[in-house]
Amino acid sequence: MSDSCQHHAVSNGKVFCVLDFERCWRATLSRDTRFDGLFYSAVVTTGIYCRPSCPGCPMRKNVRFYRSAAAAQEAGYRACKRCNPDASPGSPEWNLRADVVGRAMRLIADGVCDREGVAGLAAHLGYTTRHLHRLLTAEVGVGPQALARAQRAQTARILLETTSLRITDVAMAAGFSSVRQFNDTIASVFDRTPTALRDMAASPADQAAGTITVRLSVREPFDGPALLRFFAARAVPGIEEIDDGTYRRSLRLPHGASTVALTPRPGYVESQFCLEDIRDLATVIHRCRRLLDLDADPLAVTELLAGEPLMAPLVVAHPGLRVPGAADPEELLLCTALRQMLPEPQVSRALAALTRRFGRPLPSPTGAVTHLFPTAQTLAEAPLTDLLPNAAADLLRRIATDLAAGDLTLSDGHDRAESERQLMQAGLSGHGAAYLVMRALKDPDVFLAQAPATGRALQSLEQPVGLAPTMRRAEHWRPWRSYALMQLWNLRPGDTQIFAPAHQTSPRQAILAA
């Protein structure tokens, strides 16, 4: 979360994160949707919690602020029926932070608590369950169980509103251990029964058979077309397809395979999921949000970049650029290793050949999406020299073997600096390792000064392209260097004209107006 709405207090030698009431109150009075998900407002007299943008008008003395929906629920508040606060974008803080709390929040969102319990979550992070609970409570007001419970409730609501699954199946699919626990949670959070929630929704019969359609909320501005161009330039044949403004891909999830279709719309991303196992819904939503960087805070990024002469015209011309993530970090790692060894024209053909020969065919292909990407275990044992030059085959096999054995991992639960070191030890270049940390681990402060696309962009803008001057300039873009990099990589023909002296608009005014 932006420091504008929080500060830290010390009690008994421990540091606790505290919301700044005055700033949160002013943000609530503004009804600005850009603050949705950064914090939640609760009203003592009504017993409900809302988005900051909710049109309700509570009295100041009756308002309390919480850093998460789970904390508001734990305090006894239920979700507002008017603004549906649980459907707001998530906090960008958890991508920015690389500490234990940030890593824990990302793992909880990926469903680790539901699959492995709090003990499994703690093991991923290398902490005891007691210490992890203490850290999370100090930062977000509740422990991992309450955070996972809030996520289960929202998943259940999506299933109730978008599918015709039986109520008991919804409870199990959302991760509840019993129907009674499910009923109690839904009543507590939404002040409705599961049946009432379903009755108020549009008929699930309108959905395609076996498909769940969800609107993924996003903070605007949001440049969806730029993301589609990025994915199209790097698409793996048979795994990914970009067609008519929609990005489609196959995805391996904890309980089975899925195909997803993501279509950027004004104010949201229309998402269609076809899942082999409905229990993967919360996980696939989280991974698609990470893939499209939907929880980013474009206002905070613009605030900093617009103050630097090189970036200012670019953020005005291209507001809302996101840093593309990775739906499957291991797949991205293996593809990056291959791109390191082969000329670009050969990479697509090699990936297509690997997919056809070693990937699992989908039972129901969707357009050009026909397979799952080969697993690390499969590639570790495959005769790769039949398809690849020896050096490329050796690197790919070595990395796949390390992944399959668990000696190399690319997980939200791991320290980013340590992951980068491990990737380089496995044979990736420094450039490739940093690229993976930026995309797969969502580090917002990576700058690839030696990438060919960076050099071409700087050259077209008549800027020095040497490593030392480029890195010195990039220091001005911390902690959003990944977003500055995307501005350079997104440079289009004719963009150099925006640097003409006639460009007099204030960058900040132009962005806010957009």
HEC-encoded secondary structure of 428-485? CCHHHHHHHHHHCCCCCCCCCCCCHHHHHHHHHCCCCCCHHHHHHHHHHHCCCHHHHH
Q: Which two three-digit tokens encode residue 464?
A: 């020095």
| Residue 130 CA to its chain's centroid (Å) | 27
Residue 80 a catalytic site member: yes
Rg (CA), the chain: 23
- Exactly one of 80, 113, 274, 288 is catalytic; name it: 80
CB 238 within 8 A of CB 352: yes
Q: Which two three-digit tokens encode residue 218?
A: 């996003």
- Exactly one of 54, 113, 274, 335 is catalytic; name it: 54
Task: Assign 65 to helix, strand or coil.
Answer: strand
C-alpha span between 508 and 316 (Å, rounded): 8
Q: How many residues does the chain have?
A: 514
Which secondary-structure segment (H or E) carries 94?
Answer: helix 93-96
What angle in degrees, to the nearest 10, is found between the helix axes of 144-162 and 281-292? 100
C-alpha span between 235 and 253 (Å, rounded): 19
Pairing status of strand 78-79 against strand 48-50: parallel
Residue 57 a catalytic site member: no
Q: Pick from 43, 129, 30, 96: which is nearest to 416 by CA?
A: 96
Q: Which two three-digit tokens encode residue 179?
A: 């129907």
C-alpha span between 340 and 433 (Å, rounded): 11
Rounded to 10 degrees, what is the CA torsion of 430, 436, 438, 441? Answer: -130
- Exactly one of 17, 24, 57, 83 is catalytic; name it: 83
- Exactly one of 50, 113, 274, 335 is catalytic; name it: 50
User: To 5 degrees, how large is the angle CA 432–CA 434–CA 437?
Assistant: 110
C-alpha span between 464 and 139 (Å, rounded): 43
C-alpha span between 472 and 239 (Å, rounded): 39
Q: Pick from 261, 263, 265: which is nearest to 274 by CA?
A: 261
Q: Which two three-digit tokens encode residue 111?
A: 């469903």
Q: Which residues pair with 19 in a beta bridge?
A: 6
Catalytic residues, which ones?
Answer: 50, 54, 80, 83
